Structure 1
Amino acid sequence: MSAAGPRDARTGVYDSKPWLARYAPGLPIHIEPEYTDALEMFRATVAHDPDADIIRYFDGRLTRRELDEQSDAFAAALTAHGFRPGERAALFLQNVPQFVVAQLGVWKAGGIPVSVNPMNKERELGEILLDSGATVLVALQELYRDVAQHVVAGTAVRIVITTSELEYQTRGDERIFSGIERLELPDTLDLQTLLAEFRGRPVPVHTLGPDDIAFLTYTSGTTGPPKGAMTTHRNVVFNARTYREWVGLGADDVVLGIAPLFHITGLVGHIAVALLTGAPLVLMYRLDPGVTLETVAVERATFTVGSITVFIALMNAPGARGESLKTLTKIFSGGAPIPPSTVAAFERFSGTYIHNIYGLTETTSPSHAVPFGTRAPVDEASGALSVGVPTFDTVVRIVDEDGNDLPVGAVGELVTSGPQVVAGYWNKPEETATALPGGALHTGDVGYMDADGWFYIVDRKKDQINAGGYKVWPREVEDVLYEHDAVREAAVVGVVDSYRGETVKAFVSLRPGHSVTAEELIAFARERMAAYKYPRLVEIIDEIPKTVSGKLLRRELRARG
């Protein structure tokens, strides 16, 4: 296929427009602004059909009108308690309806939500509260009791609102809610009490603009303290539309909320998509594979986006049957490398192809994706599955260590420009200048573009292994290990070696009912890889440690040695 037109043949600079016309002729090549902010986007959805469901939580339902009214009440309650426009409110919650109510309510009060990982411990939560200067904390009761109450005293937080995951539903599924009880917590306000008290109260009107901050989303902090990415309303509206146009989503779809709502995928690929399209968002508190399979069947979910580890878990759930997922025909996966063998296995299981998608917190979810209905190519040399092509109005460069553009096929760092790239990091001008010079994001991801415009991610720059002077990318080794029938998940790291400096070590978990020895896996990889690449060490463990969003925690594995 000819590559003429969409790029400079010398440098490989990629402009999305011509390639979209080729690979996805039904898609627009440019997105014009439709709404100024995410709140305007939601209000248009409410006006269109106020009585349609927008959130489903087990046996509970919230209509668009009810979500609008409850978020109004939340905004009125915040304002009455002294919250002012521009202030920050931290949301320390799981995948519950209260997250969406609070986020909309903070916007209506003129504030900035700060999404917080519910797995954070005291030190991590304290860092985010101090860095953001949040004056409000909305937390699940148990998270406040066990974590937050021990750190809020040293921060700017002056209003604490707690809530229970038992609200908004009556089913009380023991697989999800076992051991959970409603708590009475001193010195906190109860969310449901506030919503009842302030229901129908007038809400001050605050004008939001496209360049106002929609939320602060904190990066994982693997290379230093967490940084709050300043995601604007323009970013959110643009990438909500990207999902809608790219996948072909509408009000008749049902969004399965498997990504954590605090994460950029959940914030945009779940919440913002529902606010824009009106498609109901199905929430399940936190992931249980068996409950998820049942929920897809009951709610007839049609679309989701999440880490590949979720789909691996669904395939391997006890008693899992692929027909449970027959309505889920629009599946995208990102956030972690996807081995081609896993995509093939899931398609055999469910009948549905998983489309790759790629982005970061700083690109407000997708910057690249496989066009819906198209199959990603696999690079013959490396065996890597393409992450797709850059999405609407996006330009991507591959650069060397000095920032020089590299030719097609050369491996270098991805540098992304487009309407989805965030404004910078909260109160961190030096980090912003380093990562986003001139507004172009230096992603820290290493990859290349082929002659037909498809992009491939090799790995993170910091994860490269130097084994006796040879460069090894963990992802390539992992992809080979995934080809073994017994391997459920694999993670590869470099560990200290007295002779080679570093050597390749693989941590592997096995599929139920399968067995294999470390020696057999080493031999399997040795037959398929260059001598310097295959793992010299393999450790079989029950579970690969991951973040709540499904990314491998390589630093924990390195520490194990």
Structure 2
Amino acid sequence: MSVYDERPWLGLYGDQAADKQLEYGNALEMFRAGVAADPDGAAVKYFDGVLTRAELDEQSDALASALLANGFGRGDRLAVYLQNVPQFLVCMVGTWKAGGVMVSINPMSRTRELSYLLKDSGATVLVCLETLYDDVARGVVPDTDVTVVLTTSELEYQSRNDERLFKGVNRQRHDGTTDFTELLQQHAGQTPPAVQFTPNDVAFLTYTSGTTGVPKGAMNTHGNVVFTASVYRDWARFAPGGSVFGIAPLFHITGLIGHIAVSFLAPSTLVLAYRFDPQVVLDALLEHRPTYTIGAITAFNALLGSPEFSKDHFSSFTSVYSGGAAISPTAEQAFLAETGKQVHNAYGLTETTSPMTLTPFGAPSPVDPTSGALSVGVPVPSTIVRIQGEDGQDLPLGEVGEIVAEGPQVVAGYWGKPQETAASLPGGALKSGDVGFMNPEGWIFIVDRKKDMINASGYKVWPREVEDVLAEHPAVRESAVVGVPDEKRGETVKAFVSVKPGATVTPEELIAHCRERMAAYKYPRQVEIIDELPKTVTGKILRRELRE
């Protein structure tokens, strides 16, 4: 038995750390329990619009009935190509009620990406915004298996026409498509036949970012969804009567679980604001007074950097978590100083259906004295985290290796890709591709992505460490460190930096800042100051684009 099997963190955090049993056999059962508990409660608030749990139940019944009438069957896939709008939830539950699998697609996907995702998933139904159909989907759908296209608008489910939100958005009808709302009205009052799922049935396909190759459809099961929703509810101390702010995109695993699924389970209200705009989000926080959220630290930093921000914007929150992008100790302390709230770290992947480790509520993450890294928490209940060497063997506590996870949140595999499943999920354990270590108290620290390690004159340099040092400089807003070719060193360290509004700094000053604080082989030899770092829609910085 290895030290990781002994799970040294068990018992440190009370009942939260005990092995968990699934409360519900599937995610649809979880949703229905929430409706039964509070049918008149708000399931979604979208600006001035409200959709109750009973109304969400009725509308998803209508959608499921419509899908079945159009030949949709057990195991078929419905692709959702939407922003953070209430229709997303109707589609999720309606797909399950029709016995199907939802495919969540990034609304920033363009022609090539959308074509690949629709073909790879074999989706037969596409639900998309009218604007996205006009700009992208119209030219893609004819070459896929999609036979039904439902279009809808971000203007639905609310009555505001704010130019900040919906500039240039007008209602459009397209040939060959069906209006989503009209279809629901046609099937209003209909109830689909009862459907049964096991915990092992696939609830939705979520696609990996493709940063290391072709995107792969992770098969998140109903058991995965129920388990991770309960982890967020229990570890974030989220209780009925609270509300979730949807700061993360709903198509992403953080939004699917940390926003939608936990709101179904609690049950609670999910507050949506279409898409991330700092001023719109700040207005929504004051209007709706949510109590819990989880999002990327880059999004929180954008809010704190807004001229309109005040501590009052976060005064209603009882719990704030962050995941999806690395947090430096400096960023954690800045958030606490600006909001008065402790941001709790979380770590997970698409393949772990969001959380594999979390910082227990009320416990600030420790900082490793050697690397300066902020811990991403301890393994969540029923989860075993191992640190393994290149040979696949467990490493002693404190040694750096690949993070490998086993537990009820790990997906069954990748859709239609048995070879990739065997390589990344051998025996059902996920090889994360992230490099880190565990300390004797059970806290996990991420050093970096395995593929991002820089080899400078034979020395290993992990970009995260350099980025954390750069974050300590008062002028630095964000940074990304990559390895670039160098005739003498093989590779050398280069930093791309964006500067805070009103601040000034030179590359030479940043190089000197790092040189004073790091070993000679680690500090960046090159610094390039740019306006914005390239990011995914979830706020993760794209080092790949900077390298290219």
Q: TM-score range by the shorter chain?
A: over 0.9
Give CA-to-partner distance per residue, 1:79-100, whole Å, 9 cap, x none.
1111111110110111110001
Structure 1 position 225, deviation (Å): 1.1
Q: Name the structure 1 match of 2:175.
A: 186
Amino acid at match of 1:453: G
Determine if the alignment matches structure 1 residue 515 to structure 2 residue 504: yes
Q: Distance in 2 between matches of 1:206 and 1:246?
A: 31
Structure 1 position 320, deviation (Å): 1.4
Amino acid at match of 1:171: R
Q: Distance in 1 between matches of 2:5 and 2:294?
A: 25
Determine if the alignment matches structure 1 residue 281 to structure 2 residue 270: yes
Give CA-to-partner distance per residue, 1:314-338, whole Å, 9 cap, x none.
1101221122211123111011110
- Equivalent residue for 1:21, pick from 11, 14, 30: 11
Shifted more, 279-288 versus 322-331: the winner is 322-331
Structure 1 position 495, deviation (Å): 1.2
Instruction: Give me the TM-score of the superposition, normalised by structure 2.
Output: 0.99
Q: Distance in 2 between matches of 1:484 and 1:26?
A: 41
Relative to structure 1, is the Cα distance of residues 473 and 159 closer, same or farther in structure 2, using a 3 angstrom cutoff? same
Give CA-to-partner distance per residue, 1:330-380, whole Å, 9 cap, x none.
111011110000110111100001100000000000000100000110000
Amino acid at match of 1:555: R
1:53–1:63 Cα contact (<8 Å) kept: yes
Q: Name the structure 2 match of 1:262.
A: 251
2:17–2:380 Cα contact (<8 Å) kept: no
- Equivalent residue for 1:117, pick from 106, 115, 121: 106
Q: Distance in 1 between matches of 2:211 and 2:299?
A: 22
Q: Distance in 1 between matches of 2:486 and 2:203?
A: 47
Amino acid at match of 2:151: T
Q: Name the structure 1 match of 2:470.
A: 481
Task: Look up the SS of the partner of 2:16 in the other structure.
Answer: coil
Determine if the alignment matches structure 1 residue 343 to structure 2 residue 335: no
Structure 1 position 144, deviation (Å): 1.0
Structure 1 position 155, deviation (Å): 0.8
Q: Name the structure 2 match of 1:399.
A: 388
- Equivalent residue for 2:197, pick from 198, 208, 211: 208
Structure 1 position 207, deviation (Å): 1.2
Q: Distance in 2 between matches of 1:56 and 1:284?
A: 9
Runs of 4+ in 1 over 6 A off after TM superposition: none
Amino acid at match of 1:396: V
Q: Name the structure 1 match of 2:23.
A: 34
Amino acid at match of 1:19: W
Q: How big is the alpha-carbon RMSD for the aligned residues of Structure 1 and Structure 2?
A: 1.0
- Equivalent residue for 2:479, pick from 478, 481, 490: 490
Structure 1 position 28, deviation (Å): 5.0
Task: Look up the SS of the partner of 1:47 in the other structure.
Answer: helix
1:296–1:328 Cα contact (<8 Å) kept: no
Instruction: Give me the TM-score of the superposition, normalised by structure 1.
Output: 0.96
Determine if the alignment matches structure 1 residue 63 to structure 2 residue 52: yes
Q: Distance in 2 between matches of 1:26 and 1:222?
A: 38
Structure 1 position 15, deviation (Å): 4.8
Amino acid at match of 1:246: W
Q: Distance in 1 between matches of 2:176 and 2:155?
A: 21
Amino acid at match of 1:187: G
Q: Distance in 2 between matches of 1:205 and 1:557?
A: 50
Task: Look up the SS of the partner of 1:27 in the other structure.
Answer: helix
Determine if the alignment matches structure 1 residue 455 to structure 2 residue 436: no
Provide the aligned length of Structure 1 versus Structure 2: 548
- Equivalent residue for 1:148, pick from 137, 146, 156: 137
Give CA-to-partner distance per residue, 1:100-130, whole Å, 9 cap, x none.
1001000000000000011111111111111
Q: Name the structure 1 match of 2:41.
A: 52
Q: Distance in 2 between matches of 1:215 and 1:341?
A: 36
Amino acid at match of 1:55: V
Amino acid at match of 1:262: F
Amino acid at match of 2:147: R
Structure 1 position 152, deviation (Å): 1.1
Q: Name the structure 1 match of 2:64.
A: 75
Give CA-to-partner distance per residue, 1:407-448, whole Å, 9 cap, x none.
011000011000000000001111111111111111111000
Q: Name the structure 2 match of 1:166.
A: 155
Q: Name the structure 1 match of 2:207.
A: 218
Task: Look up the SS of the partner of 1:144 in the other structure.
Answer: helix
Q: Distance in 2 between matches of 1:479 and 1:283?
A: 32
Amino acid at match of 2:168: G
Q: Name the structure 1 match of 2:321.
A: 332
Q: Distance in 2 between matches of 1:502 and 1:152?
A: 44
Amino acid at match of 1:405: D
1:490–1:544 Cα contact (<8 Å) kept: yes
1:42–1:275 Cα contact (<8 Å) kept: yes
Task: Look up the SS of the partner of 2:473 in the other structure.
Answer: coil
Amino acid at match of 1:371: P
Q: Percent identity?
A: 60
Task: Look up the SS of the partner of 1:396 in the other structure.
Answer: strand
Q: Name the structure 2 match of 1:320.
A: 309
Structure 1 position 156, deviation (Å): 0.5
Relative to structure 1, is the Cα distance of residues 14 and 289 closer, same or farther in structure 2, using a 3 angstrom cutoff? farther
Unaligned segments of structure 1, at least 5 residues: 1-7
Q: Distance in 2 between matches of 1:471 and 1:178?
A: 48
Determine if the alignment matches structure 1 residue 382 to structure 2 residue 371: yes
Relative to structure 1, is the Cα distance of residues 28 and 465 closer, same or farther in structure 2, using a 3 angstrom cutoff? closer
Task: Look up the SS of the partner of 2:258 in the other structure.
Answer: helix
Give CA-to-partner distance per residue, 1:9-30, whole Å, 9 cap, x none.
xx542554x52421x2242512
Q: Distance in 2 between matches of 1:26 and 1:111?
A: 36
Q: Distance in 2 between matches of 1:291 and 1:349?
A: 19
Q: Name the structure 1 match of 2:75.
A: 86
Q: Distance in 2 between matches of 1:260 and 1:497?
A: 39
1:301–1:328 Cα contact (<8 Å) kept: yes
Q: Distance in 2 between matches of 1:468 and 1:126?
A: 43
Determine if the alignment matches structure 1 residue 106 to structure 2 residue 95: yes
Q: Distance in 2 between matches of 1:69 and 1:112?
A: 19
Q: Distance in 1 between matches of 2:131 and 2:6?
A: 48
Q: Distance in 1 between matches of 2:318 and 2:304?
A: 15
1:14–1:453 Cα contact (<8 Å) kept: no
2:81–2:126 Cα contact (<8 Å) kept: yes
Determine if the alignment matches structure 1 residue 537 to structure 2 residue 531: no
Q: Distance in 2 between matches of 1:553 and 1:253?
A: 34
Structure 1 position 32, deviation (Å): 1.5
Amino acid at match of 1:101: V
Q: Name the structure 1 match of 2:543.
A: 554
2:237–2:319 Cα contact (<8 Å) kept: no
Q: Distance in 2 between matches of 1:183 and 1:265?
A: 31
Give CA-to-partner distance per residue, 1:127-155, whole Å, 9 cap, x none.
11111100001111111111111111111
Q: Distance in 1 between matches of 2:401 and 2:17?
A: 29
Q: Distance in 1 between matches of 2:262 and 2:6?
A: 25
Amino acid at match of 1:484: H
Q: Distance in 2 between matches of 1:125 and 1:501?
A: 38
Structure 1 position 202, deviation (Å): 2.8
Give CA-to-partner distance per residue, 1:471-506, whole Å, 9 cap, x none.
111100000000011111111111122222211111
Give CA-to-partner distance per residue, 1:279-302, whole Å, 9 cap, x none.
100001101111111211211111
